[in-house]
C-alpha cells in the first residue's frame, strides 16, 4: 500500500514537472551602436598610393579595411585642385567606410551627389578634407564617425545644395570645420547639422551665408580653444568678390543652438547668442591688432578659383614688407604718445594705412 502511494506521488510530481511551462528568458537590450571618439588617427592596416582617384559608383559601397590611401604627391597648401586631384570620388548614393586619408594628397574626398562616409579619417588635411561638389536641394550627405587633423583652413566644404549631417566627429587644429561656399559661381541654400562633435584648437565650427538662407544646427558639442561656434556671412555669386562677415553666435534662425548644447571653452565670443555675441566678437577683432582685418585678407571660399605657387611667393614677400612697415609705424606711434593731439592723430592714420597694406598683402596668400 505504501509502495503504491509512493509511486502515485512520484507520478504526480513528474506530471506536474512536465506540465509546468519553461521559464521565459528575456535577453538584455542590445547596446546602442556608437562610434567612439578618438584624439588620434586609428592604427592602419597598410597603405596604398593611388595613381588616379578611386571612384565609388552610384549606390555602391567601398570598405577600405583601415588602409591609408593617398595620391603619393606633396600637399600644395591652399592651392585649389580639381576632381582629378581627389583620393576618392563618390557618386550619388555611394558609401565610403573604414579609410584613412594620408598626408600625400591635395583634395581628399569629393562627393558628386548625396553620399555617406563612415569612420573616415584624415591624418593631415591639405586644401580641404571633404567637398560636396554637387547635391540637390532636399538631399542629405552623412558623415558618421571619423575625424580630421591639421587643417590650415577648411575641413568640410559645401558647394552643392541640400544638407550635410555630421555626427560623432573629431577635429583638431583647424580653421573652419564646415564652410558653405561663400562665392561660388552658383550659390544655393545649404544646411549643416552637427551632433557629437569634439573640436580642439580651431577658429570656427561653421561658416554660413545668411543671405542665401543657410542654417547650422548644433547639439552635444565639446570644444576646447575654439574661437567661434557659428559665424554668419553675406555670400556672393560674384567669383571675383569675397563674402563679408555679418555676425556670429546663436540667433535661433541661422545659427541654431543653446548654451546647453555646447560644453568646454571657446577662446572667442561666438559661443554666445544674439547681437551681444556679434558685438563682442567685433570688439575683440578690432582691439586685438589695432585695426579690424577685412574678410578679403582671409582665405577664399571659392572652390573653382586657382592660385599658383609663384603668386603665393610674391604675396609672401609683400606680406613680410607690410609687416615690417606696420611694426615700424607702431614703434614710432608709441614713442610719440606724449606729443600733441594732431601728432597722435597722424600716427593713428599711419597705423590704419599700414593695416590696409597688410590686408592687401595677405589677400594673395590666404584663400577662403
Burial class (CB in 10 A: 0-12, 13-18, 19+), 327: exposed
Residue 230's pLDDT is 98
- Count of C-beta atoms within a 10 Å radius of residue 167: 18
**Residue range 255-269: mean pLDDT, rounded:** 85
Least confident of 74-78, 136-140, 250-254, 260-264: 74-78
Grid cell in block for residue 54? 578611386
Residue 81's pLDDT is 72
As a whole number, the mean pLDDT across the chain is 75
Percent of the chain scoring above 70 in pLDDT = 61
What CA–CA distance (Å, rounded) separates 172 from 146?
A: 12
344 pLDDT above the threshold of 90: no
Q: In this predicted model, what pLDDT tens digit does every residue of 60-76 receive, in sequence order?
A: 999 999 999 999 999 98
Q: Which of 258, 285, 245, 246 has the alpha carbon at shortest distance from 269?
A: 285
**Residue range 13-37: mean pLDDT, rounded:** 43
Helix count (H) and strand count (E) of the chain?
A: 4, 17
Residue 332's pLDDT is 40
Asked if 156 contacts 146 with a C-beta cutoff of 8 angstroms, the reply is no
Grid cell in block for residue 154? 577648411
Grid cell in block for residue 238? 560674384
Residue 82's pLDDT is 86
> Of 27-31, 167-171, 266-270, 285-289, which has the strongest mean pLDDT?
167-171
Q: In this predicted model, what pLDDT tens digit does every residue of 148-200 receive, in sequence order?
A: 999 999 999 999 999 999 999 999 999 999 999 999 999 999 999 999 999 99
Grid cell in block for residue 328? 615700424
Element (H, E) at 95: strand 95-101
> Would you say the pTM of this structure is higher than 0.85?
no
Is pLDDT larger for residue 321 or for residue 244?
Answer: 244
Least confident of 80-84, 267-271, 314-318: 314-318
What CA–CA distance (Å, rounded) separates 26 from 23?
A: 10
Amino acid at each position: 500500500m505504501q509502495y503504491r502511494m509512493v509511486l502515485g506521488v512520484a507520478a504526480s510530481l513528474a506530471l506536474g514537472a512536465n506540465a509546468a511551462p519553461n521559464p521565459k528568458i528575456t535577453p538584455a537590450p542590445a547596446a546602442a551602436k556608437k562610434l567612439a571618439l578618438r584624439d588620434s588617427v586609428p592604427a592602419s592596416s597598410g597603405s596604398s598610393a593611388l595613381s588616379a582617384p578611386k571612384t565609388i559608383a552610384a549606390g555602391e559601397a567601398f570598405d577600405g579595411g583601415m588602409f591609408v590611401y593617398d595620391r603619393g604627391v606633396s600637399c600644395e597648401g591652399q592651392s585649389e585642385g580639381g576632381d582629378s586631384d581627389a583620393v576618392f570620388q563618390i557618386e550619388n548614393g555611394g558609401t565610403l567606410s573604414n579609410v584613412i586619408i594620408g598626408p600625400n594628397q591635395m583634395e581628399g574626398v569629393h562627393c558628386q551627389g548625396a553620399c555617406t562616409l563612415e569612420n573616415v579619417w584624415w591624418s593631415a588635411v591639405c586644401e580641404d578634407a571633404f567637398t560636396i561638389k554637387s547635391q540637390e536641394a532636399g538631399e542629405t550627405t552623412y558623415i558618421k564617425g571619423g575625424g580630421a587633423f591639421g587643417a590650415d583652413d577648411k575641413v568640410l566644404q559645401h558647394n552643392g545644395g541640400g544638407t550635410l549631417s555630421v555626427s560623432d566627429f573629431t577635429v583638431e587644429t583647424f580653421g573652419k570645420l564646415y564652410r558653405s561656399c561663400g562665392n561660388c559661381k552658383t550659390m544655393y541654400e545649404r544646411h549643416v547639422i552637427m551632433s557629437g562633435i569634439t573640436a580642439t584648437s580651431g577658429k570656427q565650427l561653421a561658416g554660413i551665408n545668411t543671405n542665401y538662407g543657410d542654417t547650422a544646427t548644433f547639439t552635444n558639442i565639446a570644444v576646447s580653444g575654439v574661437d567661434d561656434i557659428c559665424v554668419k556671412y553675406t555670400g556672393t555669386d560674384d567669383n571675383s568678390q569675397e563674402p563679408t562677415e555679418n555676425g556670429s553666435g546663436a540667433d535661433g534662425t541661422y545659427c541654431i543652438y543653446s548654451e546647453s548644447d555646447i560644453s568646454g571653452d571657446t577662446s572667442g565670443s561666438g559661443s554666445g547668442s544674439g547681437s551681444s555675441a556679434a558685438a563682442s566678437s567685433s570688439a575683440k577683432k578690432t582691439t586685438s591688432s589695432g585695426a579690424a582685418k577685412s574678410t578679403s585678407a582671409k582665405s577664399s571660399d571659392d572652390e573653382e578659383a586657382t592660385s599658383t605657387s609663384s603668386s603665393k611667393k610674391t604675396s609672401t614677400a609683400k606680406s613680410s614688407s607690410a609687416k615690417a612697415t606696420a611694426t615700424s609705424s607702431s614703434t614710432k606711434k608709441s614713442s610719440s604718445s606724449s606729443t600733441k593731439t594732431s601728432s597722435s592723430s597722424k600716427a593713428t592714420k599711419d597705423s590704419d594705412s599700414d593695416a590696409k597694406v597688410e590686408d592687401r598683402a595677405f589677400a594673395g596668400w590666404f584663400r577662403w
